[in-house]
Structure 1
Amino acid sequence: MRIRGCHRSLAVAVVTGALVAALASCDSGENDRAEPVDAGRVRVVEALKQLIKDHHLPGAQVVVTDRGQVWTASAGVGDLERGTPVPDDARVRIGSNTKTYVATVMLQLVAEGEVDLDAPVERYLPGVVHGPGIDGNRITIRNLLQHTSGLPEYAAENGAPAKPGQLDFQAARWVTVDTAEVVRNALTMPADFEPGARWAYSNTNYAVAGMVIEKITGESVGAQITRRIIEPLGLRDTYYPDPGETDIRGPHPVGYAEIGGKRVDYTMMNVSGAGAAGAMVATGADLNRFFTALLDGKLLPPAQLSEMKKTMALPVSGPPLGYGLGFMRSELSCGKESWGHGGDIDGFETRGGVTADGRSVTVIVTEVPEAPEASADVTKVVDTALCATD
């Protein structure tokens, strides 16, 4: 076990019952004072260890922020070849958490009078959103942000052959992709349903939303996110990758993917294909700061935050989930309400949330679990961490 400051980091590799003793006697600085064992924290670390053990994942990390204090625990390893742990301040690809940043920028533009949530996409991108059963005059900005547009999915499912019009991310791993071309190709497929008829997750919605932001502002969506969110919040470990950028800046674990039945290093990739739907990089601590600031009303006026939090129930089993405008609400086992998003991209899965009392959690896994049970157990770690009390 590796421990650096009990309040800050608990890194767990192959851990035994020494955890409790280590928590009780960890170094507290110059005075070398012992801190009491925190039962809630122990439960979180044990849940993280169990996740690695049960599902044979390479590595995982939980980052908990509560009352201004941040602590981090890691299980497994951050590099299978070297056997090194997940870095304390690990930067990872955050996938679809990017959508919440994009939705926040769009709602800031709404507050500034530049965008009307219930205006048709055609107003902002004339002639762009059209195809079989697809009419940009009937699809609103709200439909895009809430996944009720009926636009077909442009991204081929992980491991599944790409359909005509879809982007195969693994085939395009090193390619700089043009979003407008991706959208044009996707819209050769028929609409999934009439706008507003139901909910269905589609990355195409946020590819189009990103195009709207760029058309209105004259800047890239990455530049807008940086200027409006990253810089004001001081998120020094968060960024939107440059076009053609393939590595992850700063300390990071290896991200793995199962390809052809083999686990391979998938850390490096060109994420231009993910774009506004999932390109960003951040640490767990920065994700916690972003979602906390958003829920606290530091990024949006009350009217726009209220619109963002208007959710529709999702057709899923288990605890109720609701999807707003790039913002998801879930009910925890302890009765609390949590807000966040989550993201999957080759190499990394991130799950988390923030509660009204200000406790925020991010769980990172260095491989997207293939089994639904594994993803469910990642969510259970989030639940355990959000419900625990320090």
Structure 2
Amino acid sequence: MSEPAARSYPERMHGAGTGGTRWRARAAVAAALAASLLACSAAPPGPAAGPALPGIDAELLQESLDRLAATGAQGVIARITRDGQVLELRAGTARHDGAEPVPHEARFRIGSITKVFVATVVLQLAAEGRLSLDEPVSRHLPGLLPDGDRITARMLLQHTSGLVSYTDHVPIDPPALSSVEEFERLRHLHHAPEDLVALATSRPLEFEPGTRFEYSNTGYVVLGMLVEAVTGKPYGRVLEERVIAPLGLRATSVPGGRESLPSPHAHGYERIAGQVVDVTELDPSIAWAAGEVVSTTADLDRFLAALLGGELLPAEQLRQMRRSTPVSPAYGLGLQRDTLGCGAVVEGHSGSIPGFASLALSAPHTRTRLELSLTTAPDAGAFRGQQELLEEVFCG
């Protein structure tokens, strides 16, 4: 997610994924993705679930989702909340070879929205005095980073550390692989976080820490390790104890090495060596604390409302989380902030991981929120409809 202030929100989502460079460009909502959907696989748009929302045109929103499903998404589900009222819309299909729509309670890989969960826990620990955002990472993780004496948790949270993103060098990229067999071997590999960090630190820093913004998944793997060093517990358990369980997010999980998704769920696809491949199942350790969490639109809505509403962080830590800087003008501490073309400000995060792309956004006052998940169709192209969706939800 480079040059955050210069590009529109949909265009910038490609940097928030967890795959390699080409993978990110395919998997994220705003990247060049499209589908040659067969007529038999396209489901008619379903009726809106829930009451009509004040100031929002449900038919226009449905048209936007249908356009996404016709130009790159296999299936789409969106949840819009305004003043406590909920509208849920779907488009496309749950499978490439079927006509069933995406399940209303579909579980999906949220990709880099995971970072907001991790940042929340880091800021909780900072509020408790168990770590300082401005102390060197080497204090708690000695020897992990060659430049650990110059890199702080704040830099990691805000993507200003200079660490290379290990996902730019991951040896698995479905469009570039020579065979399905090669992908099948790579998708089941388990990665230790130390190995992911080592892949990044084998290369020099991209810039002097604190002087530039450059989206780096490596930073959030380090933050996951920092949480473990400070608490003495697996970072996933800490997320469960501090965020998931207290908010009652029963459909949200940290999968660890579990390759399958809990039911119900839709399926995402890639075309590899000319064959359509279901990429829904994979070992999520490749993403770890940078993007492995599984959730639903309803759970993400509860999380986002609670976070921005002050339920999870003291006022000072929430203020810091939301604050951007001249060095990082559109990214706080784990929270993206952007201004749409109409002037409306939105906060939240985007995410992508093979087969899935997602959004969780809120207006700053939290009266209006949007959560969106799409599964990717096999063939390349360009998404259409997301900009219209954002403007209808947040600009009215």
Provide the TM-score with structure 1 as the length reference.
Answer: 0.82
Which stretch of structure 1 is more off in the superposition, 151-160 or 86-95? Answer: 151-160
| Aligned equivalents of 2:260, 2:367: Cα separation in 1 | 33
SS of the residue 1:323 aligns to: coil
Larger-gyration structure (1/2): 1
Partner of 1:123: 139
Q: 1:366 to 1:233 in 2, by over 3 A?
A: same
What letter matches 1:114 in structure 2?
R
Partner of 1:202: 216
Q: Which runs of 5+ in 1 are unaligned?
A: 1-11, 29-34, 163-167, 316-320
Deviation at 1:309, TM superposition (A): 1.0
Cα RMSD between the aligned structures? 2.9
| Aligned equivalents of 1:379, 1:338: Cα separation in 2 | 13
Residues 95 and 343, structure 1, Cα contact 8 Å, conserved in 2 = yes
- Identity value in percent: 39
SS of the residue 1:45 aligns to: helix
Residues 174 and 270, structure 2, Cα contact 8 Å, conserved in 1 = no
Q: 1:370 to 1:336 in 2, by over 3 A?
A: farther
Question: What number of residue pairs does the alignment pair up?
Answer: 348
Equivalent residue for 2:57, pick from 29, 37, 40: 40
| Aligned equivalents of 2:323, 2:379: Cα separation in 1 | 31
SS of the residue 2:102 aligns to: coil
Are 2:284 and 1:267 equivalent residues in the alignment?
no
What letter matches 1:228 in structure 2?
R
Residues 348 and 368, structure 1, Cα contact 8 Å, conserved in 2 = no
Residues 70 and 285, structure 1, Cα contact 8 Å, conserved in 2 = no
Partner of 2:156: 144
Partner of 2:351: 343
| Aligned equivalents of 2:319, 2:53: Cα separation in 1 | 41
Q: 1:93 to 1:42 in 2, by over 3 A?
A: same
Residues 169 and 273, structure 1, Cα contact 8 Å, conserved in 2 = no
SS of the residue 1:107 aligns to: helix
Partner of 2:32: none
Partner of 2:34: none
Are 2:345 and 1:322 equivalent residues in the alignment?
no
Partner of 1:294: 307
Equivalent residue for 2:369, pick from 355, 360, 366: 360
Q: How do residues 304-315 of structure 1 correspond to structure 2 at under 5 angstroms?
A: 304-312=317-325
Q: Deviations over 1:39-67 (max 9, x none)?
A: 611111111112222x1421111111222
Q: 1:385 to 1:122 in 2, by over 3 A?
A: same
Residues 356 and 375, structure 2, Cα contact 8 Å, conserved in 1 = yes
Are 2:395 and 1:383 equivalent residues in the alignment?
no
Residues 53 and 86, structure 2, Cα contact 8 Å, conserved in 1 = no
What letter matches 1:115 in structure 2?
L
Partner of 1:229: 243
Q: Deviations over 1:193-224 (max 9, x none)?
A: 11011000111000101000001101111101
Residues 63 and 361, structure 1, Cα contact 8 Å, conserved in 2 = yes
Partner of 1:154: 166
Are 2:294 and 1:277 equivalent residues in the alignment?
no
Are 2:234 and 1:220 equivalent residues in the alignment?
yes
Q: Deviations over 1:206-265 (max 9, x none)?
A: 010100000110111110111111111111111111x32111112110122233344321
Deviation at 1:288, TM superposition (A): 1.4
Higher relative contact order (CA 8 A, sep 6+): 2
| Aligned equivalents of 1:267, 1:260: Cα separation in 2 | 18
Deviation at 1:14, TM superposition (A): 4.4
Are 2:133 and 1:104 equivalent residues in the alignment?
no
SS of the residue 2:376 aligns to: coil
Q: Deviations over 1:151-178 (max 9, x none)?
A: 111113745879xxxxx99763112211
Q: Which runs of 5+ in 2 are unaligned?
A: 1-40
Partner of 1:5: none
What letter matches 1:219 in structure 2?
K
What letter matches 1:237 in structure 2?
A
Partner of 2:186: 172
Q: 1:370 to 1:186 in 2, by over 3 A?
A: farther
| Aligned equivalents of 2:152, 2:76: Cα separation in 1 | 38
Are 2:79 and 1:66 equivalent residues in the alignment?
no
Residues 314 and 323, structure 1, Cα contact 8 Å, conserved in 2 = no
Residues 277 and 378, structure 2, Cα contact 8 Å, conserved in 1 = no
| Aligned equivalents of 2:62, 2:78: Cα separation in 1 | 8
